[in-house]
């Protein structure tokens, strides 16, 4: 089992920045590929970004590419999502997730999920 706890969400104006954190506990953090997903009100959950076990490889949804950066610190068992140039359409609950698989950006590819942290971007 892996427990994931997100933090860092909040209210920010358009154009602003936030950094989300996801602290993991339980099994060896470095064994898992990590990702961020989000779900806006009335919409389906969508993939945001993922990072490999070592942190050497990342992949982003087109909607956030160039604005968001995913990173991880295996010594601290934590994954981050730096969000810059935020837009009202980035408003959502953000979830981190952990996967044993090397590839895949669908929700079903991930084994463990956090409870989410809300992000609201005002215009």
Euclidean distance between CA atoms 82 and 104, whole angstroms? 21
The band of 37, judged by pLDDT with boundaries at 50, 70 and 90, is: very high
Report whether pLDDT(49) > 90.
yes
CB atoms inside a 10 Å sphere around CB 51: 23
Q: For the residues 40-57, what does the mean pLDDT come to? A: 95
Report whether pLDDT(27) > 80.
no
Closest CA to 7 of 107, 78, 112: 78
Q: For the residues 6-26, what does the mean pLDDT come to? A: 97
pLDDT in tens, 88-118: 999 999 999 999 988 888 989 999 999 999 9
Report whether pLDDT(63) > 90.
yes
Closest CA to 48 of 112, 97, 121, 108: 97
């Amino acid at each position: 089992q892996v427990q994931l706890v997100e933090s860092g969400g909040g209210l920010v104006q358009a154009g602003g920045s936030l950094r989300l954190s996801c602290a993991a506990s339980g099994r060896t953090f470095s064994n898992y590929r990590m990702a961020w997903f989000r779900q806006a009100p009335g919409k389906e959950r969508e993939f945001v970004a993922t990072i490999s076990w070592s942190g050497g490889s990342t992949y982003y949804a087109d909607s956030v590419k160039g604005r968001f950066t995913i990173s991880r610190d295996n010594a601290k068992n934590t994954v981050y999502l730096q969000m810059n140039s935020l837009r009202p359409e980035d408003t959502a609950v953000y979830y981190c997730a952990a996967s044993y698989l090397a590839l895949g950006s669908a929700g079903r590819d991930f084994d463990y999920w956090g409870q989410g942290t809300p992000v609201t971007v005002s215009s």
